[in-house]
């Protein structure tokens, strides 16, 4: 993994250099779980209840790049519903090129599927997850989730995976992805799912955008969990954009 301990101006980086800064480890035999999240300076994970309210052009550039590198995009159902998730739109040429370089991407250039974690299976088959996507989603749910909902989601094309009894167990979730060859895992949150992955000590990598705004209010922060789990992280790089956006990559020690 390439590391730089100095802040780099985003505009000084070529697209190739930028993608190398975010490359997944080249030889993985188990899932590597990366989170990509955005926060305001004062720690809000949302503005007007959406993370999009914090987005900046630099955040968007890295958001797209991280999707192009990943094998699967993992989100909690709260985020899929709030942000009306559809399938990922990625550039097939870049996906193939990343695959050839061994840093991510996909052999055929196909986009990474969206995997949604849900205990309730309360997801509509008419949602964009199903109707606006090139590849079917994965629904990662529980044995006790209503069978009729699971059946409707499977009928709509999803692969429905049970990875827990009443709640999805983070370790079973990550194992289920690994068993399908989905080793480069990109989670885009939200705070509950990220907190649970953190609590289970499954987060390897955090790409955090700090948007140049103060929000105030009562917005939550990027991670929420029942217990504290102190995880020591090492700074891989910091990128700066002219509008004040800071893009940091932190890797578990």
Ligand X SMILES: NC(=O)c1ccc[n+]([C@@H]2O[C@H](COP(=O)([O-])OP(=O)(O)OC[C@H]3O[C@@H](n4cnc5c(N)ncnc54)[C@H](OP(=O)(O)O)[C@@H]3O)[C@@H](O)[C@H]2O)c1
Which of 83, 70, 64 lies closest to 110 in space, CA to CA? 70
* Residue among 21 and 54 whose Cβ is closer to ligand X: 54
- Asked if 82 interacts with ligand X (CB under 6 A), we say yes
Q: How many residues does the chain have?
A: 253
- Asked if 168 interacts with ligand X (CB under 6 A), we say yes
Q: For the chain, what percentages of helix, strand and coil (3-state, to nearest 5) are there?
A: 30, 25, 50
Q: Choose one: 43-51, 63-71, 100-108, 177-185; the region binding ligand X (CB under 6 A).
A: 43-51
Q: Measured at the alpha carbon of residue 102, what is the angle toward residues 64 and 199, in degrees to the nearest 5?
A: 60
Residue with tokens 């890797």: 251
Q: Could you say which of 10, 21, 33, 37 contacts ligand X (CB under 6 A)?
A: 37
Q: Could you say which of 55, 78, 86, 212 contacts ligand X (CB under 6 A)?
A: 78
Q: Could you say which of 46, 56, 133, 223 contacts ligand X (CB under 6 A)?
A: 46
Q: Could you say which of 31, 76, 111, 113 contacts ligand X (CB under 6 A)?
A: 76
Element housing 76 (H / E): strand 72-76
- Asked if 64 interacts with ligand X (CB under 6 A), we say no
- Asked if 77 interacts with ligand X (CB under 6 A), we say yes
* Residue among 114 and 251 whose Cβ is closer to ligand X: 114
* Residue among 21 and 123 whose Cβ is closer to ligand X: 123
Bridge partners, residue 235, by sequence: 250
Q: Measured at the alpha carbon of residue 104, what is the angle toward residues 89 and 158, in degrees to the nearest 5?
A: 50
From the CB of 205, what's the least distance to ligand X, in Å?
A: 15
From the CB of 20, what's the least distance to ligand X, in Å?
A: 24
- List the interface residues with ligand X, window 93-152 (CB under 6 A): 117-120, 122
From the CB of 204, what's the least distance to ligand X, in Å?
A: 17
- Asked if 55 interacts with ligand X (CB under 6 A), we say no
Strands 205-211, 246-252: pairing kind: antiparallel
Q: How far is CA 8 from CA 67, 220, 241, 248, in A?
A: 22, 29, 9, 10
Beta-carbon count within 10 A of 7 CB:
13
Give the footprint of ligand X on this chain (CB under 6 A): 37-38, 45-46, 49-51, 75-79, 82-83, 117-120, 122, 167-168, 188-193, 196, 222, 224
């Amino acid at each position: 993994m390439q590391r730089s301990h100095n802040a780099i101006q985003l505009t000084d980086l070529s697209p190739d250099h930028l993608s190398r800064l975010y490359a997944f480890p080249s030889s993985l035999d188990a899932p590597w779980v990366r989170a990509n999240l955005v926060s305001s300076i004062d720690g809000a994970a949302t503005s007007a209840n959406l993370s999009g309210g914090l987005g900046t052009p630099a955040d968007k550039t890295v958001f797209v790049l991280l999707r192009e590198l990943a094998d699967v995009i993992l989100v909690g159902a709260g985020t899929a519903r709030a942000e009306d998730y559809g399938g990922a739109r990625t550039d097939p040429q870049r996906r193939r090129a990343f695959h050839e370089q061994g840093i991510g991407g996909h052999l055929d250039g196909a986009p990474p599927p969206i995997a949604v974690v849900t205990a309730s299976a309360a997801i509509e088959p008419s949602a964009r997850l199903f109707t606006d996507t090139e590849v079917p989603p994965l629904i990662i749910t529980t044995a006790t989730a209503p069978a009729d909902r699971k059946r409707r989601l499977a009928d709509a094309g999803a692969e429905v995976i049970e990875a827990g009894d009443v709640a999805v167990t983070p370790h079973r979730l990550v194992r289920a992805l690994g068993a399908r060859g989905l080793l480069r895992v990109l989670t885009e949150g939200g705070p509950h799912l990220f907190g649970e992955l953190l609590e289970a000590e499954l987060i390897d990598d955090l790409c955090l955008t700090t948007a140049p705004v103060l929000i105030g209010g009562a917005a939550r922060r990027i991670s929420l969990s029942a217990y504290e789990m102190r995880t020591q992280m090492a700074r891989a790089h910091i990128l700066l954009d002219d509008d004040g956006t800071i893009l940091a990559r932190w890797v578990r020690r």
